[in-house]
Structure 1
Amino acid sequence: MDIKEFYYELPSELIAQEPLKERDKSRLLVLKRGTGEMEHKIFYEIVDYFEKGDCLVLNNSKVIPARLIGEREDTKGAIEFVLLNRVKENIWEVLVKPGRRAKLGSVFVFGKGLLKARVLDYTEAGGRFVEFYYEGIFEEILDKLGEMPVPPYIKKKLEDKDRYQTVYATCPGSAAAPTAGLHFTNELLEKIRVKGVKIVYITLHVGLGTFRPVKVKEIEKHKMHAEYYEISEETANIINATKEEGKRLFAVGTTTTRTLETVSNPEGFVTAKKGFTDLFIYPGYKFKTVDALITNFHLPESTLIMLVCAFAGREKVMKAYEEAVKRRYRFFSFGDAMLII
């Protein structure tokens, strides 16, 4: 498929620069994938679309302050790191900018020497493998020196770091938030639970795939960056029981969807696993497990909008996006949401 099939015009003023004061007051476009019919709601009304016995699956990954600003030890040239994956105890895969300064063996200094890093190797995707040197506890140093790596299209400074975390984030490791979950409050989750819906958690640490644009004309040639995931025995058992009962599985976000589809068999049952997934979902993919998708509005020509088009049909999704632009919905990480059922 040609990448241009996933392009749409978006006025820049519709890119949300900050989160709403109340998480669950964002707008919700409900798209019925069978008919293409649309409804326009407020996010807290999503509770009305659940039925007793359904299962809601959330990604509990927590964003770490993964953006480090420092300098090269010898030349003092400025450098930016974004931490992606922990390979070993002190060895990380990172994005670097500008890359020309991060040659093999180069040493970088952060926080006046509180943290140092040496470049060990290049990654296939153009990043670096680096080893960190420090005294003390790495996570405490990162909390002190690091910044939240909000996407580049957000120009406004984020005043409250917690607003770039879901209320249920418990497993540190992401370089970006699983943003579909930002709309949920603890109170809304409780209302969903009271309705007889089972709520379970998987983990997928969001990495380079979120930052990396699709650069090929034919999307089938694009390669996803691998991201670490975990799904527990308890979660797998609840999901499988839901499928056996003929009830629906609601996936919150593309990260949750990719994890579930990675660990599912052709009949839609999942296995408890941990590992790395580079599953690329685009139109033509046959979904095995996910029955409903809660997601945000994504960048044109991104792998995220391709996944959504695979789930609901490209024409229906692009029409929904056109309607969202017309109705002045807010787009991207801090924007409004879609429910596709």
Structure 2
Amino acid sequence: MKLDDFDFDLPEGLIATRPARPRTSARLLVAKGDDLRDLHVRDLPDLLGPGDLLVLNDTKVIPARLTGHRTRHTPQGDATAKVEITLLEPQADGTWRALAKPLRKLKPGEVIRFGDTLSAEVAAMSDTDLSLRFDAVGEAFDAALAQVGAMPLPPYIAALRPPDEADRQDYQTVWAEKTGAVAAPTASLHFDDALLQALRDRGVRFTHVTLHVGAGTFLPVKVEDVTTHKMHGEWGEVTPEAAEAINATRANGGRIIPVGTTALRLIESAAAEDGTIAPYQGVTEIFIYPGYRFRVTDALMTNFHLPKSTLLMLVSALMGQDRIGTLYRHAVNSGYRFFSYGDASLLIP
């Protein structure tokens, strides 16, 4: 299974840099068997009904992109230099692992100041990242970060425009609750309160799980034989209540439909061979590619993914490579908007 098997041509003009407004006006490509239908997210209540369970990721994206200054001591006096930081994940010792630009000019013990409300000491360095110890913790840290940080837009959007105030709402789900992600579960960005209520009125049920999406979700696959790729780890939790809801839905013959690949990867990590789910808490590194046997997922709502990405491999595992190839060619030819702020698909094997 070669990396080039998951490549396709995508015109740059189809990369969405802003979301559809309202959220539910985004287009929805519905693929069921050999049938393709061009609809909109607002049509979901007509596609789902009693017995269906949507699994939603309730992680909350932090404003993880920081611009700070370090002080350098020179013979001519002190000088400041700009440093760009992207937080990756908190560590057990209270520090944060982060990316820095420029990285190699920093040294352990140096202090980076992010305005008047937040600063951090460089606690440790590696060839690729560093650890920062901030001068605030808990709620004080969250408040300071909200003041000085920017939303960590994906690289393919950040390359086209900088983050702004609108992204603080646009790049967050309406049910975001548990702080810890540095990337959004983007299929969930299409929902608003009115759509959730319309789905409830149809008898659709919801349960929440948590997967803190990391920056590793954007890392390219660098091996030619995709089966040798090593996935990044992300922390997740399936609560006893969520496990019970999923198991009860399966027992009653209902469909389990994760909204987004993050929710799918988590529930597949927590599922036993027979498809039953137990409460789960820990890091998942599950890599789903063609040949994988899905244990609990019956359908998936997801956005359109990057060429040669692990997420394109995941949807190919669900629908079949040939089918995904046909679906993506249709999406490109029909002008669907791609990636995090783009349109959505509902994939029903």
TM-score of the aligned structures, taking structure 1 as reference length? 0.94
CA distance in 2, matches of 1:229, 1:262: 10
Contact 1:90–1:133 (CA under 8 A) maintained in structure 2: no
Q: Provide the residue aligned with 1:272 in structure 2.
A: 279
Q: 1:18, 1:158 within 8 Å by CA — same for their partners in 2?
A: no
Aligned to 1:41: 39
Equivalent pair of 2:217/2:232 in contact (CA under 8 Å): no
Q: CA deviation at 1:53?
A: 1.4
Distance (Å, rounded) in 2 between the aligned partners of 1:301 and 1:102: 33
Tell me, yes or no, if structure 1 residue 4 matches structure 2 residue 4.
Answer: yes
Q: 2:134 matched to which residue of 1?
A: 132
Unaligned runs of 5+ residues in structure 2 are: 73-78
In the TM superposition, what whole-angstrom CA distance separates every residue of 1:80-112 from its partner, at most 9, and x where no partner exists? 221121113631121222332344444423225
Letter matched to residue 55 of structure 1? L
**How far apart, in 2, do the equivalents of 1:100 and 1:196 lie?**
55
**Residue matched to 2:80:** 76
Amino acid at match of 1:64: I
**What letter is aligned with 2:68?**
G
Q: Distance in 2 between matches of 1:131 and 1:284?
A: 43
What pairs with 1:214-253 in structure 2 (closer than 5 Å)? 214-253=221-260
Note if contact 1:29-1:40 (Cα within 8 Å) is conserved in structure 2: yes
C-alpha distance in structure 1 between counterparts of 2:37 and 2:28, whole Å: 8
**SS state of the match for residue 207, structure 2?**
strand
SS of the residue aligned with 1:172? strand
Aligned to 1:303: 310
Cα deviation code 1:19-75 (max 9, x no counterpart): 12200000000112xx33211101111112213111110001111101111133327
Are residues 1:101 and 2:105 paired?
yes
The answer for the alignment partner of 2:22 in structure 1 is 22
Q: Which amino acid aligns with 1:128?
A: L
Query: Letter of the aligned partner of 1:207 in structure 2?
Result: G
Distance in 1, Cα, partners of 2:343 & 2:201: 25
Contact 2:183 2:215 in 1 (8 A): no
Q: Which runs of 4+ in 1 moved over 6 A?
A: none
Contact conserved, 1:120 with 1:131, CA < 8 A, in 2?
Answer: no
Q: CA 1:222–1:127 in structure 2 vs 1: closer, same or farther (change >3 Å)?
A: farther
What is aligned with 1:287? 294
Question: Per the alignment, in what secondary structure is the counterpart of residue 243 of structure 2?
Answer: helix
Unaligned 5+ segments in structure 1 are none
CA distance in 1, matches of 2:318, 2:2: 18
> Following TM superposition, by how much is the alpha carbon of 1:134 offset from its aligned partner in structure 2, in angstroms?
4.0
Structure 1 position 130, deviation (Å): 2.4
- Write the distance in 1 (CA, Å) between the matches of 2:263 and 2:153: 20
How far is 1:159 from its partner?
A: 4.1
Normalised to the residue count of structure 2, the TM-score between the two structures is: 0.92
Aligned to 1:122: 126
Q: Give the counterpart letter for 2:95 in structure 1.
A: I
Tell me, in whole angstroms, the C-alpha distance in 2 between the residues paired with 1:85 and 1:319.
Answer: 37
Partner of 2:149: 146
Local SS of the residue matching 2:156: coil
Contact 1:121 1:130 in 2 (8 A): no
